[in-house]
Amino acid sequence: MAGSSHGHTPAAWTGVMIAFIGFCVAGAFMVMAQPIGFWAGMAIVVLGGVVGAVMRSMGLGQPKDAHQVPQTRAAVTPEPAAAES
């Protein structure tokens, strides 16, 4: 979708990066068989979502009306040219 700016906002980038760090932490502690660390990583993932939502409410996210499809005129098909003899 050319021209789409979906997700290219400070709120989206910050929330996703925090969640990614949380998944990495949880994955590392899962491999080390440490349940407390795993759940701490999951809490960081949730924190990423909360931070992203707070930043969006502060105006650092994409506006709600940005997802609306612009109205276009109906396509007009040209009439076939008359064959000249």
pLDDT per residue as tens digits for the range 49-84: 999 989 888 887 777 765 555 566 655 566 666 666
21 assigned to some structural domain = yes
pLDDT at residue 1 above 50?
A: no
7 contacts: CB under 8 Å, gap ≥ 6 = 13, 16, 62
Note the pTM of the prediction, 2 decimals.
Answer: 0.66
Q: Give yes or no for a contact between 55 and 11, defined as CB atoms under 8 angstroms apart.
A: yes
79 assigned to some structural domain = no
42 assigned to some structural domain = yes
- Residues spanned by the domain of 37: 10-57
24 assigned to some structural domain = yes
Angle (CA) 60 64 70, round 5°: 125
pLDDT at residue 31 above 80?
A: yes
Is 27 or 71 the better-scoring residue by pLDDT? 27
- At 51, phi and psi to the nearest 5? -60, -45
81 assigned to some structural domain = no
43 assigned to some structural domain = yes
30 assigned to some structural domain = yes
How far apart (Å, rounded) are the C-alpha atoms in residues 19 and 11? 12
